Amino acid sequence: MMVSLILLVLSSIEMACLVNGLHHLRSTAFVNTHYNNNIHSSHQLKFIHTSHNNNNIIHTSHHNNNIHSPHQSRLYVVPKQETIEEIEADSARLRVEIKELREEAKRRLLELEKQLNALSTTSTPTTSNSSSNSSEDELLPVPAVTFSNNTPTKKKKSKGIANLLDETTWKISLSIGREPNTWMPKEWGAKGNRINISFNAEFSPSQLYDRDDFFRGGYTNAKILNIIDNEITMGPSVDEGIRSFKVRDGGWQVTQGDGPMRTDLLRFYIEVDEQIQRGDVSIPKGRVYCSCGYFPYIMKGESSVKELYMSELKQIDEQMGELQQKKDNSGFLDGIKFSRDMFQLSRKAEEISEKMFNLSVTEPDKKLLKFSKDGDVGLTKEGGVCCRVMKGPVTEYHILGRFSSACIDND
């Protein structure tokens, strides 16, 4: 391909030379004819200088100063033009020179191709295979050899906001018992009994295809929750010791904007094979659902909005102290002015305090969260536990209790 391009350029040069020669011949003939027709004798020169030429009038003084006689007009005659035979001879000589240049270019290209082939054989097998599979690489073998030893290292795949729990393992502790505003029967958990259950679960990145209305979209973006050993443990009580129950793997999903003040939620479930009973508290057979706050912290190193508000409140407090001192040491009129400024600052502090109260929900204190091993996501220390109850065509979720979680380091 490179050879063909160079030959095409050489052919273009050859054509340009021939055209240039013809142009030179035509220009020479035109100039000679022009001078032969207009500079022939002193009489013709006098006629030119005494006539009007469209826009310019040539004065006789110019004629007298520049062209005095026929002898002086001979200075403007162009030398004798070349003959056709001489031009053809020059063209033939140019063709021979161009042919020699083409032969020399071919010889140098062949030498360069041999050198490149020698370099390709000494490169790594990976480089030679990649160059043979692409026509563009064949045209550019040198960069392939240059970068053969600079293979980039594999980077860790970045996670999206909803995938920060992928491949993490957590210990989940359920505390089942009567909670305020539950729809469970009045006698359920009325004596204050509680069932404490714990298990380890891995948040798998594998897609869940079992539909459940507890998830947004049924199973859209839902993943499999692997229960370690498919077993849960019920803690001891006064009447009985530790008991274990078999459960099935469940599912999990992060829903963005479904929590209080449009925060994110983590939803997951496990499926028990039998009813678990202790006193007047029981867990029905089937799926047990859990949900809690989900707060990603992937933007590390930046000051949170809450911290900025706290800094602003501190500045307002300092300004209020300064204004109070000025008011105490001023007269009546100045005191009114300082009081007005203090009132405006107090109103501003109230607005910031209200925003901070909202941030306690949207950006809770880190002490209230349990973080993953990478620290890029936090779960609220406590979440809700419920079960699904069908009342005719209506589906209800009744509160069973609450749960807590803690990440287990797998490394």
For the stretch 374-408, pLDDT in tens is 899 999 999 999 999 998 899 999 999 999 999 99
Greater pLDDT, 61 or 362: 362
Whole-model pTM?
0.55
Q: How many CA atoms lie within 13 A of 313 on its CB side?
A: 14
What pLDDT does 167 receive?
93
Choose the weakest-confidence range: 7-11, 284-288, 289-293, 333-337: 7-11
Q: With residue 242 as reference, give the H or E element that holds it.
A: none
Beta strands 377-380 and 281-283, pairing class: unpaired
- Banded model confidence at residue 47, pLDDT cuts 50, 70, 90: very low
What pLDDT does 45 receive?
36
Choose the weakest-confidence range: 74-88, 249-263, 341-355: 74-88
What pLDDT does 298 receive?
62
Q: Does the structure show a pLDDT above 90 at 227?
A: yes
Residue 61: which residues within 8 A CB-CB, separation 6 or more?
A: none
Residue 249: which residues within 8 A CB-CB, separation 6 or more?
A: 224, 225, 226, 227, 230, 270, 271
Greater pLDDT, 354 or 3: 354
Q: Does the structure show a pLDDT above 50 at 217?
A: yes
What pLDDT does 175 receive?
97
What pLDDT does 143 receive?
39
Greater pLDDT, 269 or 3: 269
